[in-house]
Amino acid sequence: MVADLPLPLTTDRLTLRGYVETDLDELHRLHAHPDVARYMLWEPWPRGYAIERLGRRVQQSAPVNDDDALDLAVLRTADDTYLGEVHLHVVSRERGCAELGFAFHPEHHGHGYAAEAAGRMLRLAFDTLGFRRVIGRCDADNTASAGLMERLGMRREAHLIENELVKGVWASEYDYAMLAREWAERSA
């Protein structure tokens, strides 16, 4: 139900589309996986919570106002296999800032899918939605996410030491960012 956006988004291998009710099992399987939840702020999702979160995702519209979010299901185009999801959250429309996020099922790691999908979301953020700056954050121990943001051309701007209490443990965080002009230079 994502209105006013050129959906689905596509890449050479992937389709990024709005969530539909039949995505429940895959969304739950993704977020209930302990390896996915390891670096998130939350525990693995119980099915009831996945139902609630899917309902919100199905009702999303274009992310235009502060705190709006867009979550897209990522599917391998060749066989419609659900791989994970990408996320764009409006931090501040006034400042032109959005946050990029992603989560992929561990069985699909190592194939470049997350980089391909996240790159497509950067293109949406800068070229279609007109954001000036896109940030990304990850647990400092999450070397895969940090590496992905660096491969996308995002710059590490901060290493926050034990700044967040996550599941009873003080966790550190890396903050990344890219400006629209940097995206344009990289995409030229």
- The model's pTM: 0.94
Q: What angle do CA 91, 95, 100 make, to 5 degrees?
A: 35
The amino acid sitting at 153 is: G
Q: Which long-range contacts (CB under 8 A, 24 or more apart) does 147-151 make?
A: 148/102, 148/114, 148/115, 148/118, 149/118, 149/174, 149/176, 150/176, 151/115
Each residue's pLDDT tens digit, 105-152: 999 999 999 999 999 999 999 999 999 999 999 999 999 999 999 999
CATH code, 167:
3.40.630.30
Does residue 1 lie in a domain region? no
Q: Which residues constitute the domain of residue 94?
A: 9-187
Number of structural domains, the chain?
1
Residue 21: per-residue pLDDT: 94
Closest CA to 16 of 93, 104, 96: 104
Judge whether 166 lies within some domain: yes
| Residues across the chain | 188
The model's pLDDT over 28-57, given as tens digits with 9 standing for 90+, comes to: 999 999 999 888 888 889 899 888 989 889
Interatomic CA distance for residues 50 and 59, integer angstroms: 14
Is residue 116 assigned to a domain? Answer: yes
User: What would you measure as the largest C-alpha separation in the chain, in angstroms?
Assistant: 45
Q: What is the pLDDT of residues 75-107, one digit of tens each?
A: 999 999 999 999 999 999 999 999 999 999 999
Contact 136, 121 (CB under 8 A): no
Per-residue pLDDT, averaged over 163-175, amounts to 95
- The first and second tokens of residue 48, run together, are 């009831």
Residue-level pLDDT at 160 = 98
Q: Give a yes or no: residue 3 inside a domain.
A: no
